[in-house]
Amino acid sequence: MAVDEHYNEHGGFPKFETAKVEPEYGELIEALRRVQDLAVSVDMPADALKAALAQTQQLVATMEPHVVPERKTPAGRVPRLPGRGSLLMLPWTVEKFDADGVRSRGVFRRFHLGGNGAAHGGTLPLLFDDLFGLTQHAYGRPISRTAYLHVNYRKITPLNQPLVVEGHVDKVEGRKTFISATLKNEDGELIADSDALMVQLLPGQQ
């Protein structure tokens, strides 16, 4: 496995360090995810809509004074939380993280609905891309960017059903890391599979 002597020079990428957060942080992220689920699920009358708007504006006012630069926010830096505490990432939990591969488990929620009870097709590349980043990191590869990502949709991706995504490094060629992954249900049925090329950044590249 490679050791990147220029880790801190690649496009300003900070070295990953686990963030220390209060217990309420995880509860806040989960509550915000529930708000996301509800926001795409409800049809409120005017009075309820106005009340929800006022409460949301109050929440914004409470949080806004505490905005910090990217390197200081705990979002995405709390491995024990689903989605590592990031609202952008799917709320999945990493079960395995080592040089042999990365495995994560979770569900697609109502917020991820594409239509007719299925997850939006665009959420799968997000799931796979995040997994590939974790996979190349677990393998010991240097900071890299996704050069391409291909997804094969084998079955409809259901909402609110436990699924497992697992990826591993297939081969390394210089700055290139080739990775593949599968998404399956708990019965082992293949939902989708993906392969990607991650390319190591040169010093100063973003």
Residue-range domain boundaries for the chain: 7-200
- Superfamily of domain 7-200, CATH level 4: Hotdog Thioesterase (3.10.129.10)
Residues 7-26, mean pLDDT to the nearest whole number: 71
Share of the chain above pLDDT 70, in %: 91
Using the predicted structure, report yes or no on whether residue 113 has a pLDDT greater than 60.
yes
The string of DSSP letters for 89-148 reads S---EEEEEETTEEEEEE---GGGEEETTEE-TTHHHHHHHHHHHHHHHHHTPPSEEEEE
pLDDT-derived band at 2 (thresholds 50, 70, 90) equals very low
Structure tokens at 154: 């084998």
Q: How far, in Å, CA of 48 to CA of 63, rounded?
A: 23
pLDDT the model gives residue 202: 81
- In 10 A of CB 92, how many CB atoms? 21
The model's pTM: 0.88
Using the predicted structure, report yes or no on whether residue 154 has a pLDDT greater than 60.
yes
pLDDT digits 0-9 by tens, 57-98: 999 999 999 999 988 999 999 988 999 999 999 999 999 999
